[in-house]
Structure 1
Amino acid sequence: MTGLLYLIPVALFLGGLGLVAFIWSLKSGQYDDLEGAAWRILQDDDQPRS
């Protein structure tokens, strides 16, 4: 039972930390262009060897 006194605040802290990281990633534009990376991988940018 005393273990819960330690685990509940730790779990709440880690959950809050994850929420802050997610909100930061939204505000910094990490999810703005979801399809761009999928199309960029299909483009052939390699130069032919001469």
Structure 2
Amino acid sequence: NGKKEFSLVNENHIHKTSFQLLKKILKKKFPKLKVDFNLMGLDKKVQKFK
């Protein structure tokens, strides 16, 4: 929306909610599929979302 100031907390919250929604959709379509989401930053650090 462009109104919030950029911060790591806001970015993580946006990714977490997006991944949760995507996981819910995948779980409904493929109930036996296990999914892990990882976010890699430009500094090559990886953050895992469960």
TM-score, structure 1 as length reference: 0.45
Q: As a proportion of its length, which structure holds more helix?
A: 1
Task: Point out which structure has higher relative CO (alpha carbons under 8 A, 6+ apart).
Answer: 2
Q: As a proportion of its length, which structure holds more strand?
A: 2
> Which has more radius of gyration?
1
TM-score, structure 2 as length reference: 0.45
